Amino acid sequence: MPRVATGNVYERRGKWFARLTIGAKKRQSFMLETCKDEESAMARLAILADLAAKLRKCGRDDIAPDIIKRAAVRDGKALDEVRKAVDMIASGQVVQKNLTPTIEQIGKRWTSGELADLHPDRVKRRRSAKTNRYVLDKYVYPMVGDVAIHKFTLDHAEAVMRSLPARLAPNSRRSVAQLMYRICSLAVLPLRHIAVHPLPRGFVPRYQAGKAKGWLYPDEDAMLLGCTQVPLEWRLFYGFLHREGMRRSEALHTRWSDIDLDLGVIVLDVNKTDEPRAWALSPGVVAALRAWREHCAARGVRVSGDAPVFVYDEGSQKGQRLTTSDTAGRFRGHLELAGVRRPELFARTETRMRIRLHDTRATFVTLALANGRTEAWVQDRTGHKSSDMINRYRRAARTAAELGLKECRPLHEAIPELAPRMGAEQARTKERAAERAPRSRRRPSPSVAIQPRSAGLATPGQKDQNCSPRR
């Protein structure tokens, strides 16, 4: 139960003031215009403290300063009206209209998806809502969560940025600034709680290139996919990402209904950028997925409709979608298990990051550009919207081209468990194609006898070759 705010009174230049705690340890002073002596000031202080306690108990500290300010200057019937209004608010009979919400209240309505449901034309549902909630809960709400949006200023935002840990990366700091800027934008439109955005346009720091990131060479990819000590489902998943360039989350949520293995095409309607895209899968990926489907079906795993493509192959989780927890650590562990030892892949320094699962996109883009693929071809698969994102890989692509690195081996050939299955299926496909091929109606030409040289048809000046007789 909240502690009753007793407060104190004092006189300054002939006027009496009451000082008491409002909200979360915020002491404020209120002028008592109708009080002429200490006795009347103390009586009014008791009334104000009672009102503050009632508002705190019902969780309405946000409106307490305005109401207590009115009670401090009113007397008689006007004061009774204020006290009656507080009693009605405390009992839940009255909800104040046009209440300006706090930063935390707007942020929670946004990350919960409520604003996306109410204003679908203005607010899109974010798939990164879980991450956004974590950042706001950790860095923003403890500092300015209880600040009403109409009182939020640049000073509040700068205080949040100053409170961030020194170890936080520049782009992580930028994400915090972006979230605060977005909450204020929502308050302007569509919520219309404020008319002017409180943060200037240049408040959000620019994106920084950051640390160097790793990518795999084709022979390292072959080592990883060929290591049978690494579970088959993870090798298929890694190889798919290296050859198609999709985001981790996009691939994990891919369903069998999204892929047409007869045509070799994938349709990705739901993705991070909310821009549907489709493209032709590489032949090796199509062959590997066809073999994987047969493999899963033989184990009793559903392989049709909305069933996920990348699932656990065995164990208690058999048939369930691959987990998203600690994918970076698992990826590095599988690389080490496969014998990939290149130092820069595992080094963590001030200028370099350890390789992550997300860097499979870097492997795909780098090798694709190095082997002459166009920027549009790459964007169709990765979903990048701007050339700036692709340009970050061009330097590494030039290095790969100078080293003569080719694209990764076909996926069905790189995974030993899938290669025999594909070999038999490919043979059956060729047999069916040969049966369907039209037969030639031309009659074979009559054979012509070849006379040996000893028959005297070759002159001494001719080369040693058979000569046909004239017809």
Query: Angle at the Cα of 356 (from 355 to 359), degrees rounded to 5?
Result: 85
pLDDT, greater one: 229 or 99: 229
Q: Where are the alpha helices (DSSP H) in 129-169?
A: 129-135, 141-144, 154-163
Domains of the chain with bracketed CATH: 8-91 (no CATH), 103-188 (1.10.150), 218-412 (1.10.443.10)
Q: How far apart are the first and last CA of the chain?
A: 120
Cα–Cα distance measured from residue 354 to residue 348, given in angstroms and rounded to the nearest whole number: 5
Is residue 310 very low, low, confident or very high in pLDDT (cuts 50, 70, 90)? very high
Cα–Cα distance measured from residue 108 to residue 461, given in angstroms and rounded to the nearest whole number: 100
pLDDT, greater one: 454 or 120: 120
Q: Which of 77-91, 375-389, 422-436 has the lowest mean pLDDT?
A: 422-436
Q: Is residue 26 scored above 50 in pLDDT?
A: yes
Q: Is residue 466 scored above 50 in pLDDT?
A: no
**Cα pseudo-dihedral 51, 54, 55, 58, rounded to 10:** -170
Is residue 461 very low, low, confident or very high in pLDDT (cuts 50, 70, 90)? very low
Question: Residue 339 forms beta bridges with which residues?
Answer: none
**Stretch 381-410: mean pLDDT, rounded?**
89
pLDDT, greater one: 441 or 414: 414
pLDDT digits (tens, 9 = 90+) for 43-94: 988 998 888 888 888 877 777 888 888 888 888 888 888 888 888 888 876 6
Cα–Cα distance measured from residue 359 to residue 363, given in angstroms and rounded to the nearest whole number: 7
Is residue 426 very low, low, confident or very high in pLDDT (cuts 50, 70, 90)? low
Question: Residue 21 forms beta bridges with which residues?
Answer: 27
40, 18 Cβ separation under 8 angstroms: no
Nearest to 235 by CA among 165, 340, 152, 163: 340
Tokens of 232: 């088959």
Q: What is the pTM of this model?
A: 0.61
Nearest to 230 by CA among 327, 301, 331, 326: 331
Is residue 454 very low, low, confident or very high in pLDDT (cuts 50, 70, 90)? very low
Q: To which H or E segment does residue 17 belong? A: strand 15-22
Is residue 468 very low, low, confident or very high in pLDDT (cuts 50, 70, 90)? very low
pLDDT, greater one: 343 or 7: 343
Q: Is residue 183 scored above 60 in pLDDT?
A: yes
